[in-house]
Amino acid sequence: MTCKKFRDYLKGQLAPDAMRVHVENCDICRKAYRADQKILLASGALNQGLEIPDLWPSVQKSLRNEQPVILKFKGPKWLLWAAAAAILILTSIWLVNPSRKATPSGKILSRHALEQVIEAEEKYQKAIQTLEELAPDQLEKTPEPLAQLYRNKLSLIDRQIENCKTALAGNPANSHIRNYLMAALQDKQKTLEELLKPNG
């Protein structure tokens, strides 16, 4: 049992100084006030010197177990580009190989389909031409070695386009070569757009 003054003090409606004056004259409130002070003092000390176990290794392990494994190439970037170039060159050699013959079974485009494909290729070429006009300025602004990487990539793609065109000269309706050419044109457009992006 306490008087109203102690309840007011607990509610923050009576200042601590006023409470201290009151308890000098009130035995009931003095006991409760001392108890409250002891509780607050002991509570404040509860977490001091607390030994915190290091749970980070467990947290990290759980997070790693959740994440998918992403294989990262750890070698030098030029090695990656060299591998890509080798694949492209080998693909091109295969394409222009005169001993290769287009098999008639469904791998030759019909006249109508060929016209449509050529129309689509011309659209890509036009878009690429526009982008190519802006590329040199952007490459100058792009820091090395990123600029060199872009030049190398564009050079590889150009060689692929040339090889496809050479192969198509003797075999214009070959759908495989047309697919390769379309893929190369799309890749070139995408690369140029990426180069010319405001933050890229």
DSSP string, 128-195: HHHHHHHHHHHHHHSPTTHHHHHHHHHHHHHHHHHHHHHHHHS-TTBHHHHHHHHHHHHHHHHHHHHH
Q: Judged by CB, which is closer to another protein: 11, or 72?
A: 11
Backbone angles phi, psi at 143, to 5 degrees: -70, 150
Smallest distance, another protein to C-beta of residue 13, A: 9
Q: Judged by CB, which is closer to another protein: 63, or 169?
A: 63
Smallest distance, another protein to C-beta of residue 20, A: 17
Smallest distance, another protein to C-beta of residue 67, A: 8
Q: Hey, is 174 helix, strand or coil?
A: strand
State the chain's maximal CA–CA distance in angstroms: 115
Residues of this chain that bind another protein (CB under 8 A): 1-2, 7, 10-12, 28, 31-32, 34-36, 38-40, 42-44, 46-47, 50, 52-53, 55-56, 58-60, 62-63
Q: Judged by CB, which is closer to another protein: 9, or 180?
A: 9
If you compute the radius of gyration of the chain from its CA atoms, what whole number of angstroms results? 39
Smallest distance, another protein to C-beta of residue 7, A: 8
Smallest distance, another protein to C-beta of residue 16, A: 14
Q: Judged by CB, which is closer to another protein: 68, or 143?
A: 68
Residue the block writes with tokens 């035995």: 27
Structure tokens at 187: 């890749």
Residue the block writes with tokens 């091109």: 92
Element (H, E) at 90: helix 77-96
Q: Judged by CB, which is closer to another protein: 8, or 187?
A: 8
Q: Judged by CB, which is closer to another protein: 52, or 169?
A: 52
Smallest distance, another protein to C-beta of residue 50, A: 6
Structure tokens at 105: 């079974």
Residue the block writes with tokens 């290091």: 54
